[in-house]
Structure 1
């Protein structure tokens, strides 16, 4: 797809979103060839991207929440964050999508449908915990809305954890480290975790 046609579709989709569907038109990019396309920062929420070819596409800080990406090929796509913003994939349909080798560091995959999706190595979505937990590319761990490199999680001070979500975060933190250890191997823990006062009831 050429850049002019893509821009027109994106512009119409923006009108569709801002008018709550009363004007413009929902982006229909199903089966579109978007290889290496620059979609950084694009708002494609609720767009139809079924079976789209997004190999090596730049999707940094793109909004793909609620988009239908079922069967799409996102191998080698870049979904990293920039300036603390994220690639938003919340509630996106990624069933049967190819995400192998995609850079998902900092991407928000909460409530995304990942059934039969081909995920990058060492990428896990963990259910049933106090917070939604996602490990991406074996490097970044998202717990709730907090996303940090694994090394940072292992070194946070008690004060830093408390600032994230108060006593709830303090109580969950040892469990989060257990989850990280289980999926990525045992690593260091801050000394304050072993202090009696660290065990928050």
Structure 2
């Protein structure tokens, strides 16, 4: 699996000139350790991923049709940023952090991610996290901002 993922990463970074695209259609990847795996544009259709660890995996543009995902895995479409939740790891765009980290970031931390775009989107992201992972605290700076 490591070799396939390494070749896929080369394929992506070379614009398809080198390496090989990961083709994992109908693969049995149960219990696979795919933490922080770079799975952008991977064909995972029909793959069996039950009990796989996808914490921090980047699944943007992956074909997940008929894929059996681990419990507590959510892929959220239609938002400004690609969002995936696997257990308590939340990826929004290129940022991947635990639920607790997302809930505690300073205004500067969020601004440094993508400027005003991320500041504007941050309350929406926390709403999404609350919906899928349970209601949690919001940073004081955000509460103060809402009271203005």
TM-score by length of 1: 0.64
* Partners of 2:96 and 2:121 in 1: CA distance: 15
Q: Structure 1 151/195 Cα, relative in aligned 2: closer, same or farther at 3 Å?
A: same
Cα drift, residue 196 of structure 1: 2.9
Q: Based on CA coordinates, which of the two structures has the bigger radius of gyration?
A: 1
Cα drift, residue 139 of structure 1: 1.1
The count of aligned residue pairs is 139
**1:43-62 to 2 correspondence within 5 Å?**
43-45=6-8
Cα drift, residue 66 of structure 1: 3.7
Q: Secondary structure at the match of 1:107?
A: coil
Q: 2:51, 2:70 within 8 Å by CA — same for their partners in 1?
A: yes
Partner of 2:25: 70
Q: Which has the higher helix share?
A: 2
Partner of 1:196: 145
Q: Structure 1 161/41 Cα, relative in aligned 2: closer, same or farther at 3 Å?
A: farther
Q: 1:65, 1:88 within 8 Å by CA — same for their partners in 2?
A: no
The match for 2:124 among 159, 172, 175 is 175
Q: Structure 1 134/198 Cα, relative in aligned 2: closer, same or farther at 3 Å?
A: farther
Structure 1 moving runs of 4+ over 4 Å: none
Partner of 2:35: 80
The match for 2:88 among 113, 122, 139 is 139
**1:50-129 to 2 correspondence within 5 Å?**
66-81=21-36, 87-129=37-79
* Partners of 1:164 and 1:198 in 2: CA distance: 24
Q: Structure 1 152/41 Cα, relative in aligned 2: closer, same or farther at 3 Å?
A: farther
Q: Structure 1 65/124 Cα, relative in aligned 2: closer, same or farther at 3 Å?
A: farther
Q: 1:101, 1:121 within 8 Å by CA — same for their partners in 2?
A: yes
Q: Secondary structure at the match of 1:175?
A: helix
Q: Could you list the per-position Cα deviations for residues 61-98 of structure 1 after superposition, in whole angstroms to 9, with x for gaps in the alignment?
A: xxx984111100110000113xxxxx110001111100
TM-score by length of 2: 0.86
Cα drift, residue 44 of structure 1: 3.0
